[in-house]
A = this chain, B = another copy of it.
Amino acid sequence: MTVLAITGGVGGSKLALGLSKLLSPDRLIIAVNTGDDFTHLGLRVCPDLDTVMYTLAGMENPETGWGVACDTWETMSALEALGGPTWFRLGNRDIATHLERTRRLAAGEPLSKVTAHLARSCGVKHRIVPASDQNISTVVETPLGQLPFQKYFVELGCKPTVQGFQFVGAENARPAPALQTCFDKGEIEAVIICPSNPYVSIAPIIAIPGIRAFLRKPEVPVVSVSPIVGGKALKGPTAKIMRELGIQPSSLAIAEHYSDIVSKLFIDVADENQVEQIASLGVETTVSRTVMTTIADKTRLARDVLVQAGINIDQID
């Protein structure tokens, strides 16, 4: 039996790392958002897949939340000298990941196979899969018009007001084959929705019909961790986006957002006063410390989440 973790980039990958410390590789499959993926300078870049992979490989850059630790920058400097676009920063080592991904995709390999190869090459034993092998592109609706996600997120620094999101391709996308196999064989005993941005990181995954349908099945517990603590997002634009969408940023709002799929929600001690309101939505809460700074934080929260999901923890070195 397997635990399915659903995640975006930085925030979610912390819990995914914690889960990987408690479950053996055959008991965890991590499905990652691909709505942020884009082709840049001819390279296929998958930011969330890479963040999860680098994090599980211990290669992540904790200062940026993206890229490889201690990477070097000669290509970016030379690109700047050539007048090329440098708003999306690509370190020398990180570029190798994109080159090899682009090469394999061009040779006809599906993204899930490419991802498995890259992760294995980085020493990752747990299964990291794109939510789908079909392209999904998150488009941000703003007063400036529809913006490709990375233009909004990185080039424009999330400044434009968000009016909505579209996940182009999601409706016709199928779950990645390894994920579909888990569904078909009834192997998933619990789903953990990691504390990534629900609107831009988790939503493109849930927008895939095969995944949405599975999450709505009542027999599999779906546990999530609120990415909002004390009305703020720990990192990234989640709170800003919520306000722009007319939603007061709170764990209660997260519970409302997820109420049709999530059975249990972890909220931070800072939000303890919202327990009763969340309960009224039919969502059970666990109050915990959800801010993950150290590896011990990540493992502890992952352990608590697994316990609440009714999952036995493996003995791993």
Spell out A's residues near B (CB within 8 Å).
40-44, 68, 71-72, 74-79, 81-85, 91-97, 99-100, 102-103, 106, 117-118, 121-122
In the complex formed, the residue of B with least CB distance to A106 is B42
Question: With a CB–CB cut-off of 8 A, which chain B residues contact A85?
Answer: 103
In angstroms, Cα B85 to Cα A68, docked, is: 21
Smallest beta-carbon distance A60→chain B, Å: 14
Q: Is the CB of B92 within 8 A of A78?
A: yes
In the complex formed, the residue of B with least CB distance to A79 is B96
Q: Is the CB of B102 within 8 A of A42?
A: yes
Question: With a CB–CB cut-off of 8 A, which chain B residues contact A74?
Answer: 71-72, 74, 91-93, 96
In angstroms, Cα B74 to Cα A110, docked, is: 27
Identify 11 new A-B residue pairs, CB closer than 8 A, beyond the known A42-B43, A75-B99, A82-B122: A42-B99, A42-B106, A43-B99, A68-B78, A74-B74, A74-B92, A78-B96, A81-B96, A81-B122, A82-B118, A83-B121
14 A–B contacts, CB within 8 A, in A order: A41-B102, A42-B42, A42-B99, A72-B92, A75-B95, A77-B93, A78-B97, A79-B96, A81-B121, A81-B122, A82-B97, A83-B121, A84-B96, A84-B103
Question: With a CB–CB cut-off of 8 A, which chain B residues contact A95?
Answer: 75, 78, 95
Smallest beta-carbon distance A109→chain B, Å: 13
Smallest beta-carbon distance A243→chain B, Å: 35
In angstroms, Cα B100 to Cα A78, docked, is: 10
Question: With a CB–CB cut-off of 8 A, which chain B residues contact A41?
Answer: 99-100, 102-103
Tell which of B42, B71, B117 touches A83, judged by Cβ atoms closer than 8 Å: B117
In the complex formed, the residue of B with least CB distance to A72 is B74
Question: With a CB–CB cut-off of 8 A, which chain B residues contact A91?
Answer: 74
In angstroms, Cα B73 to Cα A74, docked, is: 9
In angstroms, Cα B80 to Cα A97, docked, is: 10
Given contacts A42-B43, A81-B121, A82-B97, contact A75 B103 (CB under 8 A): no
In the complex formed, the residue of B with least CB distance to A80 is B96
In the complex formed, the residue of B with least CB distance to A98 is B42
In angstroms, Cα B74 to Cα A92, docked, is: 6
